[in-house]
Amino acid sequence: MHDLAVLFEHPLWQEPLFAALDARGVDYVRVDLKNAAYGSHDERPAKVVFNQASPSAYVRGHERAVPQCLAFMRHLQRLGCDVVNGPDAFLMELSKAAQVALCRELAIDHPASIVFNDVEAAIAKNDTWPRLIKPDLGGSGARIQVVESAEELRAAFSDPAIWAPDNLFLLQEYLPHDPEHGIVRLEFLGGELLYPMRVVTHGKFNLCPSPVCNPGEGEGESLCELPASPTPVEFYPYPDVPEHAVDAARRILGAANIDVGGVEYLETPDGRLVFYDVNANSNLRPSVAAHFDIEPFERVVDFLVGRVARASATAPIAPARPAC
């Protein structure tokens, strides 16, 4: 049994983490979810498992990675394995409807939303335009768009392929905000704020912080499967984040059982702080972390090594095999 296993699907996102683990000499194994199988009688691969799968797997043709990941993590938890960002956390990331429900439960401001599987039913429920349409199973901004009317909503769904892979959408409150300021993303590790950053979107929805997807100056070309923006998304440190925003994000991630993740919010002209996205697969932005004098992947390795030490100290006794 290894000390650590990392579940992943994207071919490049985890390379900085793997490099940090290698440099520290951590005993770990990589589990590629794109082509995977496990046996019901297999021993667990590691004392601690770190889930780094993404809901956007389908945009890369890896739709089967998500159900495989969920099944495997549930299996591992039954075996007594410590799973970081486990099935509960992953399910929260996989559903924007669940995120909205969680924010309502916690009394945290969120976009008013209509969850629908039929366009006409959504139109009948809605009374204000414009609106944002967003897939329940999101990822990298795919399939998100602004619609100005019922006719535009109908036109957006004229191609049935838009429903794939989850057949569920949200019609959300459209929230104006200062485009020069952008939105705010707060990255957390083990319940504590790792760093805050401001993201100037230029009207785009693919806000993945990984330099692989949204490279900054000198960081190469975008390797994202989704079309790159002609105006690059900009990422900046945001040291002046309000403490009540940090507290709200911490409560969201704690309730969702997300140990390593990020929360996004925006501020409307009338002063609302609206939390609209929860991410369990955090692609940390080294250039922003450097402003706060943080080596983000070293911090993640510290956290994982601590979980391994805790799991080693509290190793469960293997259950006795049945006699027949």
Q: Domain end: 173, 196, 221, which one?
A: 173
The pTM of the whole model exceeds 0.75 = yes
108: in domain? no
Q: What integer is the mean pLDDT of 163-176?
A: 94
Helix or strand (DSSP H, E) at 287:
helix 286-291
Segment among 12-16, 95-99, 239-243 with least mean pLDDT: 12-16
What is the pLDDT at residue 203?
A: 77
More confident residue, 203 or 45: 45
Question: What is the bridge-based pairing of β-strands 192-200 and 234-237?
Answer: antiparallel
pLDDT digits (tens, 9 = 90+) for 33-66: 999 999 999 999 999 999 999 998 888 889 999 9
Residue 324 pLDDT class (50, 70, 90 cuts)? very low
Q: What is the pLDDT of residue 204?
A: 72
Count of the separate structural domains present in the chain = 3
Domain span holding position 147:
113-173
Q: Is 228 a residue whose pLDDT tops 70?
A: no
Give the 3-state secondary structure of 39-74.
CCCCCCCEEEEEECCCHHHHHHCCCCHHHHHHHHHH
Which pLDDT score is estimated for 149?
98
The predicted structure's pLDDT at residue 282: 80
Beta bridge partners of 274: 266
Mean pLDDT of 173-196: 95
> Above 80 in pLDDT, residue 318?
no
**Do 7 and 47 belong together in one domain?**
yes
Give yes or no for residue 212 having a pLDDT over 70: no
Task: Note whether 154 and 187 are same-domain residues.
Answer: no
Asked, for residue 193, whether it belongs to a domain, the answer is yes
Report which of residues 251 and 321 the model is more confident about: 251
Cβ neighbours of residue 43 closer than 8 Å, sequence gap 6 or more: 1, 79
Using the predicted structure, report yes or no on whether residue 126 has a pLDDT greater than 70: yes
103 found inside a domain: no
For residue 183, the domain's CATH number is 3.30.470.20
Are 288 and 181 part of one and the same domain? Answer: yes
